[in-house]
Structure 1
Amino acid sequence: MRRPTIKDVAERAKVSLKTVSRVINNEPSVMQGTRARVLHAIAELDYEPDQSARNLRSGTPFVIGLVYDNPNPYHIIGVQNGVLAACRETGFGLQIHPVDSTSPLLAEELVEFVQRSRLAGLVLTAPMSERMDLVNALAARGVKLVRIIAATEDPQDGHACVYVDDRDAAYEITEHLIQLGHQRIGFLWGGLAHRSSTERYAGYEQALKDYGISVDKHLIVPGDYTFDDGFRGARRLLALREPPTAIFGSNDEIAAGVLAAAKSAGMNVPYDLSIAGFEDSPFSKQSWPPLTTAKQATEDIAKQAARLLIAGLRQDAYDDNPTPVHNQGFVPQLVVRGSSAPVRPRSERPERLERTDPNP
């Protein structure tokens, strides 16, 4: 059931929101009969005042939490820096809380984290932010949150979010490789628990279809957002009888693993194999050659999520009729670097790797 709000109390007691607020804060300017009606409505509805808003009004220092479960350290560092920047510019503190996103008791853990640390709210990252059962459970317990999610458009589901159009960016990367003449383009998945991986695959698949290229299941390899899975996935693809001429890794760590696999096989990137990643992490710039990728602006995305959370908290605290904060979308931009080049004629391509996987 939905938690009763201060508006419900005001309607039950037939008074204004400001009057309810004055009663809750024990201000002496309220007539005894009015105070009694408000207290009676609070008891009937089992209403619990929002301690976060009361603390904010009183000037108590405020802290928000950042919750994550992601194997990519560069991504997490970017998210942390973005949220921290928003906290510094608004005078908020930050607590960082890594979790196991598969835990069946995650909702209870996060509610306890919020209560124990007296947090004003949470910035929730994927994959937790994309679990609507978890989001709804937290909201029902009064936890204020803003989500960072992968989506092509604003979901308009009643929960504040910053959404990232991974699908369109993945389409652009795949289109770039196709326009270089590549027809056999491998795809290495990130973690299935992350909607970003599904969205990136959808963009890859749609680009192939739009250019009349059939989707070859042998060129698609499952995995996680890690260097090791990129290396293993690339070895598997390069051992095919007809190996790909280009490989798209779902993030830059995967793509860096592909680059290492190609070099270990004596291949010349990008002339023997083109490689693309996603996110524009330090991996993409520090590799040689540097990686073609999609610039995701992770810090800016996280900073905007924290700003949305803080703006909502301040509205709840100071505005009797707060207006919903506006969700914001980001579209990663293609960055072409030295790891992608036109496909070489078949006669000039290197011999394939010796098969190492019996079921590539």
Structure 2
Amino acid sequence: MRKPTIKDVAARAEVSLKTVSRVINDEAGVHARTREQVRKAIADLDYRPDPSARSLRSAQSYALGLLYDNPNPYYVIAMQNGVLSVCRETGYGLQIHPCDASSPDLANDIIALVRNARLAGIVLAPPMSEQQALVDTLRANGIRLVRIVSASRAPQDGSACIFVDDRDAAYAITEHLIQLGHQRVGFLWGGKSHGSSWERFKGYEDALRDYGIEPDPALVVEGDYSFDDGFRGARRLLALPNRPTAIFGSNDEIAAGVLAAARSGGLNVPYDLSIAGFEDSPFSKQSWPALTTAKQATEDIARRATRRLLEDLRDQPVSALANEGFSPELVVRGSTAPPRPGA
């Protein structure tokens, strides 16, 4: 069977080719009832616009890029799914490109990628999105982009941005542990090149100080967003003469590593050791006990970032281009409980 074409959609919806094109490109000037009629025809026929063909027929590109550098596969998959869902809705193609955020040639590599692949714009994920010099260079070279950053408010540089308030969520996790009665709460970092690691650490410190607990450097271990670093960091903390009664891992993968280390040491979670993670990835739900965490809607964040980029590409009025913030929500599960008496 041949693939349905735009002519098939127009015939089924009983409209012109131009009207179908306007609906696909989400242009103004189409009556709501007609727009719904065209969208129904697209769905009934399972019509998928060819981004390459559209780009060749016009000066406009119909392809976006997703650029990331993150060792967490669940985060990357959620980002891809979120961006891809909007691309499919709007008839854009998507090029997914892993990067080395520490590369000295990163800016030139991205500029070459965008021009060679004729990308209309890019979704820039952390940590590249948090490198201001890189963002400034890309924008100076005419690269249209949207940034996803960890911050309590949007950066004031005028760039399109979606921000995630990791600090507030980390504060809530630490506060939860303190209110359970934990006075010695360990913290395991994610990669320091990620702004989210710093924001989560600041939230942890702020909560301790607000509850009159002086942060103890011995309870803080650097690492990366990985299971192995969670395991190693937890073994180090649990070997202390006065070990923590709770450990907060900067993401769920780290927290799962903490859980494995606790089990290998014969500890009962949550009664000998409470554990909390961050992001609400499959690690948090598949662990036993399930992990207390902060639910971060990564797919929703990626979807909103893509829509924000498309709004910018269409040069919509500034009032329609508000940068949006997300705040991960505390999810309490079985991995946290009050410490044993006398712990």
If the TM-score is normalised by the length of the shorter chain, which range does it land in?
0.7 to 0.9
Q: Match of 1:328?
A: 324
Q: Match of 1:339?
A: 335
What is the Cα deviation at residue 60 of structure 1? Answer: 5.6
Give distance in 1, aligned partners of 2:215 and 2:314: 49
* Residue pair 2:61, 2:120 contacting (<8 A) in 1 also: no
Q: Match of 1:162?
A: 162
C-alpha distance 145-287 of structure 1, shift in aligned 2 (>3 A): same
Give distance in 2, aligned partners of 1:137 and 1:303: 25
Q: 129-138 vs 85-94, which deviates more?
A: 85-94
CA RMSD of aligned residues (A): 1.7
Give distance in 1, aligned partners of 2:186 and 2:120: 44
Q: How does 1:15-34 map to 2 (within 5 A)?
A: none
What is the Cα deviation at residue 345 of structure 1? Answer: 1.2
C-alpha distance 57-213 of structure 1, shift in aligned 2 (>3 A): farther
Q: AA paired with 2:278?
A: F
What is the Cα deviation at residue 156 of structure 1? Answer: 2.3
Regions of 4+ moved over 4 Å: 54-57, 321-324
* 2:314 alignment partner, SS class: helix
Q: AA paired with 1:300?
A: D
Give distance in 1, aligned partners of 2:320 and 2:122: 17
TM-score for both structures, normalised by structure 1: 0.78
Q: AA paired with 2:186?
A: G
Q: Match of 2:194?
A: 194
Q: How does 1:281-320 map to 2 (within 5 A)?
A: 281-315=281-315
Note if 1:85 corresponds to 2:81.
no
Q: Match of 2:225?
A: 225
Note if 1:206 corresponds to 2:202.
no
Q: Match of 2:248?
A: 248
* Residue pair 1:67, 1:125 contacting (<8 A) in 2 also: yes
Q: How does 1:56-135 map to 2 (within 5 A)?
A: 58=58, 62-135=62-135
Give distance in 1, aligned partners of 2:289 and 2:211: 28
* Residue pair 1:86, 1:306 contacting (<8 A) in 2 also: yes
Give distance in 2, aligned partners of 1:157 and 1:93: 28
What is the Cα deviation at residue 343 of structure 1? Answer: 1.2
Give distance in 1, aligned partners of 2:90 and 2:208: 45
Aligned residues: 290
Q: What are the Cα deviations for residues 257-281 of structure 1, in whole angstroms up to 9, with x where unaligned?
A: 0000000011110010000000000
Give distance in 1, aligned partners of 2:56 and 2:214: 57
Q: Match of 1:35?
A: none
What is the Cα deviation at residue 324 of structure 1? Answer: 6.6
What is the Cα deviation at residue 314 of structure 1? Answer: 1.8
Give distance in 2, aligned partners of 1:323 and 1:108: 33
Give distance in 2, aligned partners of 1:323 and 1:184: 47
Q: Name the larger-Rg structure.
A: 1
Q: Please, which runs of 5 or more residues in structure 2 have no aligned partner?
A: 1-53
Q: Match of 1:215?
A: 215
What is the Cα deviation at residue 58 of structure 1? Answer: 3.6
Q: Please, which runs of 5 or more residues in structure 1 have no aligned partner?
A: 1-53, 350-360
Percent identity between matched residues is 68
